Structure 1
């Protein structure tokens, strides 16, 4: 499926590209992005083209933190109407919940979930349709942008409990230290931010109930007009819920406000089934986990909901045509091939 994002995602690209010695307009052209979209932040562009642009720019400049450099000076205004909706909420927790609801209007490829565990709040970020070998720049842009947003509301002295990425650590982490102001955890189970739940309950001084109601009505109308297909709604939920282990059709149905029979029936109308979508998401996540570092099979099996490492290994071979070790060997070979650069 072709996913779209607002061209405001390109904010700071020209500046960062020039800082690392690139011709930004040449890179845009190679990625298939017209320079005219830079003049219209509401224009929709291909998420895959954006992914290619970030990955190619990082590779051409010889830097591993290109996406994070773009996130470093992101502002709430870059989110357009979504940013206005967030400012109209009474608390930061409610603002983040509003972001989850309307994020698809900003980016069809980002899946964001909020999970409370004891006194902590986990903000998970995932990307639909991303190639596992080239996700680093995109996900660091997303998580870095979220961190900037939280500090916008909580103050520059605020720090998260932890910053997590599924990919391996870069060879040099100066930018990560500068942006996050704390050690970053790599090779983790998810991409996102962990903070104290109580910190997000503080009232927002920007709260305006009248404005909030009007903006929500406008965004609800835009959501209705976008008419996302039912299978895609299910896919988003599976991607969000799978790492938590609560990803049965019953759990997905609960999030959709229906029973499991209704989920099966509506998917059937689109020629889809819950199992095929679930397995497709599993395959995508398995590729990413096999790509990022040397995770033990038992850990990967647990993250993907398998009862044992052997069951996961059999499933991986059946769906991807090789063992995890062979997959990693092939990937390493392609990354070392100059023709892939």
Structure 2
């Protein structure tokens, strides 16, 4: 089943592309998308098609530096109303914590690709943003757009001038940072261990002065009346959880099942009923992450091995060779020779 996302990102793209010297109509045509995506934010489109729009834009001859800011600019332009049918519900949640919980609960209305997990450590909260895509690397523009949309939700709840403790990206920094610093703030870190936002833990529970419980209940009743077509399968939800948890050393069935509100035994049984196995899903996600990390030279093979849950680099090398037909070091060298990342 294809990974689908709302076309809201493309309605924003159409407003911003011209400033970067990009023809949005041509970009969509080259990506094989209907032009209605530029004006209709609630269409469901393949995530790969959204990525293709960015690819053809970057290859279209416009200034590379300008194109490299597209994701950040779209995130900067994001507003609460761009969350579509969830907007009213999110606006009237009592706290940011509750709003983030609603994002996860109604993810099927927004994106099959994105997941946000809150990690709390002493007085700090980390909003981990993970993207599950059909490609090993979702691409920096897509990641920045997504983290930017989450930051826009945070600022809608906590104030337009809210400055987080930090914004982190696992990819390398672009050549120019003016747009990124203007939107994400001065405390932006690239080549990080994760994609997401770091904030004070207390900000999660700061009271929203605009919250109205009656309007929230009304919005939720309206949403619950909508058909739940295209809702992600259990296997898709497990994949998302593994993407979030595996790089943090928690990719075993216990924390994954806990995140999904199931016992490990129940999770295994339900997966088996669908013809899936937890171990196979872990292996699939490992393969996707391994290729993504190896394509980025700054990640040492030993570090990748540790992030993917292997006891030692030799175990990772044996596994990778069995999956991809060659050791990770050789795979990386060949990708570099082909002009990869």
TM > 0.5: yes
Q: Equivalences for 1:137-286 in 2 at 5 Å?
A: 137-222=141-226, 224-286=228-290
1:294-330: CA deviation from partner (whole Å, max 9, x where unpaired): 2112221221111112222222222222233333333
- Which residue number in structure 1 is paired with residue 77 of structure 2? 73
Distance in 2, Cα, partners of 1:336 & 1:237: 28
Question: CA, structure 1 residues 256+23, in 2 after alignment: closer, same or farther (shift >3 Å)?
Answer: closer
- Which residue number in structure 2 is paired with residue 310 of structure 1? 314
Distance in 1, Cα, partners of 2:340 & 2:238: 37
1:135-185: CA deviation from partner (whole Å, max 9, x where unpaired): 111101101222222223222332111111111111222221121121421
Question: CA, structure 1 residues 220+236, in 2 after alignment: closer, same or farther (shift >3 Å)?
Answer: farther
Match 1:119 to one of 119, 123, 138: 123
- Which residue number in structure 2 is paired with residue 18 of structure 1? 18
Distance in 2, Cα, partners of 1:273 & 1:40: 38
- Which residue number in structure 2 is paired with residue 32 of structure 1? 32
Distance in 2, Cα, partners of 1:54 & 1:176: 17
Distance in 2, Cα, partners of 1:223 & 1:182: 42
Question: CA, structure 1 residues 248+217, in 2 after alignment: closer, same or farther (shift >3 Å)?
Answer: farther
| Mean CA deviation greater in 222-231 or 107-116 | 222-231
Distance in 1, Cα, partners of 2:38 & 2:140: 23
Distance in 2, Cα, partners of 1:74 & 1:318: 43
- Which residue number in structure 2 is paired with residue 326 of structure 1? 330
Match 2:87 to one of 76, 83, 88: 83
Query: Is 1:99 paired with 2:103?
Result: yes
Unaligned runs of 5+ in 1: none
Distance in 1, Cα, partners of 2:174 & 2:335: 18
Maintained 8 Å contact 1:126/1:191:
yes
| Mean CA deviation greater in 219-228 or 176-185 | 219-228
Maintained 8 Å contact 1:54/1:137:
yes
Maintained 8 Å contact 2:95/2:157:
no
1:178-215: CA deviation from partner (whole Å, max 9, x where unpaired): 21121421111111111111122211122111221232
Distance in 1, Cα, partners of 2:167 & 2:218: 34
How many aligned positions are there? 337
Maintained 8 Å contact 1:13/1:70:
yes
Unaligned runs of 5+ in 2: none
Question: CA, structure 1 residues 218+305, in 2 after alignment: closer, same or farther (shift >3 Å)?
Answer: farther
- Which residue number in structure 1 is paired with residue 54 of structure 2? 54
Match 1:299 to one of 298, 303, 325: 303
Distance in 2, Cα, partners of 1:118 & 1:29: 49
1:264-314: CA deviation from partner (whole Å, max 9, x where unpaired): 222112221110011101111111111233211222122111111222222
- Which residue number in structure 1 is paired with residue 292 of structure 2? 288
Using the TM superposition, give the Cα deviation of residue 224 of structure 1 relative to its aligned residue in structure 2, in angstroms: 4.5
| Mean CA deviation greater in 213-222 or 197-206 | 213-222
Q: TM-score, structure 2 length as denominator? A: 0.92
Question: CA, structure 1 residues 220+254, in 2 after alignment: closer, same or farther (shift >3 Å)?
Answer: farther
Distance in 1, Cα, partners of 2:331 & 2:177: 28
| Mean CA deviation greater in 255-264 or 195-204 | 255-264
